[in-house]
Amino acid sequence: MAQQSKNILSEIQGVESEFEKEVAAIDSVTKLETVRIVFLSKKGKLQSLFSHLGALDPQERPLVGAELNRLKNRIQEDLLEKKSALGSAKSPVDSFDPTLPGKTPSFGTIHPLMQVLGEIENIFMGMGFRVEEGPEIETEFYNFEALNIPEDHPSRDMQDTFYLPDNYLLRTHTSPVQIRTMQKQRPPVRMIAPGRCFRRDTPDATHSPTFHQVEGLCVDKGVSFADLKGVIMAFARKLFDAEVKVRFRPGFFPFTEPSAEYDFSCIFCSGQGCRVCKNTGWLEISGAGMVDPAVFGFVDYDPAIYTGYAFGMGVERIAMLKYQVHDIRIFYENDLRFLRQF
């Protein structure tokens, strides 16, 4: 075989192994196209080999030509194969479809207790009450003493709590905010104080060591029990409905005199008697009363000039009634099956 033919055959071999390397490195449609141009285009490597055929010994042409054709077919086939492989394993960028709807992020909802708290706040703000806040860690002075509950008074036992060093404690009610507010401003005062409270209670369906209250306080010249009744009644009607009745029963709190417990007529049976109201027709809400003059003594208000009323309410209690929840503990469990319903 002539030297020229041998040269071309070894060139063919060289191009083939070059192609093998290149095709293995192809990882995108763009690279595939580049490789196709380098080897198969009119000015490509194969074409340049074909153009040497004419200069060969006529007897050796068929052999070299067949070898060239084999390589050409192989390159075409390999590139086709590569192309379909690339098509089935599309890169993330190739498969990104900007017209598809996006994933909607989940925003969550406001906790049912906080929703009820917000409603209570709105109703009282609409009646001219300001929203005050106080610390959850209180001193014995604000939580008990200034509320006319002396050290050995038995009503401290009913509000046993968690004590911290240096006479600090977790507040058992929101009533200390009455004292803090009166210390910081002169009458007239008209405020509510929502917040978290704590008691040393064993959890059950109606008790939780952590719960929420809303306190109310109004102090001015000539404030009477009738004003208290009017405000509570207006609140009940706004919160539930216009038919709700309010009842005051005698009660006792060291910081109010006279004191009362107040009930709403049952919103489920309209007072007829049902399971929720235990057939009494009434739902107990909380306590209220006229501010005890002894309390004014602690904040330097003159009881000869000013009178006031105060009331409390349990947020959980109201939320349980509103949403017919029968176990208080479910509010704190963060169970999404429950929370997603609000």
Strand partners, 207: 204
Rounded-to-integer distance, Cα 255 and Cα 147, Å: 5
C-beta of 32 vs 228, nearer to ligand PHE: 228
C-beta of 135 vs 273, nearer to ligand PHE: 135
- Amino acid at site 230: G
**Is 49:68 a contact under the CB 8 Å cutoff?**
yes
C-beta of 39 vs 253, nearer to ligand PHE: 253
Stretch that binds ligand PHE, among 6-14, 21-29, 138-146, 304-312 (CB under 6 A): 304-312
Q: Least CB distance from residue 179 to ligand PHE, whole Å?
A: 12
Q: Is 256 in the site for ligand PHE (CB under 6 A)?
A: yes
Q: Which residue is nearest to ligand PHE (CB)?
A: 312
C-beta of 16 vs 284, nearer to ligand PHE: 284
Residue of 236, 267, 288, 290 that binds ligand PHE (CB under 6 A): 288
Determine whether 233 is exposed, middle or buried from the number of CB atoms within 10 Å of its CB (0-12, 13-18, 19+). middle
Q: Is 173 in the site for ligand PHE (CB under 6 A)?
A: yes
Q: Least CB distance from residue 263 to ligand PHE, whole Å?
A: 14
For the chain, what's the residue count? 342
Task: Please report which residue ranges of 144-199 form alpha helices under DSSP H.
Answer: 176-184
Q: Least CB distance from residue 256 to ligand PHE, whole Å?
A: 5
Q: Is 144 in the site for ligand PHE (CB under 6 A)?
A: no
Rounded-to-integer distance, Cα 248 and Cα 111, Å: 31
C-alpha pair distances (Å), 192 with each of 38, 213, 238, 285, 312 = 83, 10, 16, 16, 9
Rounded-to-integer distance, Cα 318 and Cα 240, Å: 10
Q: Is 5 in the site for ligand PHE (CB under 6 A)?
A: no
Stretch that binds ligand PHE, among 54-62, 104-112, 182-190, 308-316 (CB under 6 A): 308-316
Residue of 235, 296, 311, 331 that binds ligand PHE (CB under 6 A): 311
C-beta of 82 vs 199, nearer to ligand PHE: 199
Peptide bond into 112 cis (omega under 30): no
Q: How many residues bind ligand PHE (CB under 6 A)?
A: 12
Q: Least CB distance from residue 215 to ligand PHE, whole Å?
A: 6
40-71 as b/e: b if 16+ CB within 10 A:
beeebbbeebbeeeeebeeebeeebeebbeeb
Q: Is 310 in the site for ligand PHE (CB under 6 A)?
A: yes
**Is 312:286 a contact under the CB 8 Å cutoff?**
yes
Q: Is 143 in the site for ligand PHE (CB under 6 A)?
A: no
Q: Is 212 in the site for ligand PHE (CB under 6 A)?
A: no
Residue 116: name the closest of 270, 282, 321 by CA. Answer: 321
Q: Is 194 in the site for ligand PHE (CB under 6 A)?
A: no
Q: Is 271 in the site for ligand PHE (CB under 6 A)?
A: no
Q: Is 175 in the site for ligand PHE (CB under 6 A)?
A: yes
**Is 183:299 a contact under the CB 8 Å cutoff?**
yes
Residue of 235, 253, 262, 296 that binds ligand PHE (CB under 6 A): 253
**Is 235:250 a contact under the CB 8 Å cutoff?**
no
C-beta of 50 vs 162, nearer to ligand PHE: 162
Work out the end-to-end distance of the chain between its first and last CA atoms, rounded to an integer number of angstroms. Answer: 91
Q: Least CB distance from residue 255 to ligand PHE, whole Å?
A: 7
Binding site for ligand PHE (CB under 6 A): 173, 175, 215, 253, 256, 286-289, 310-312
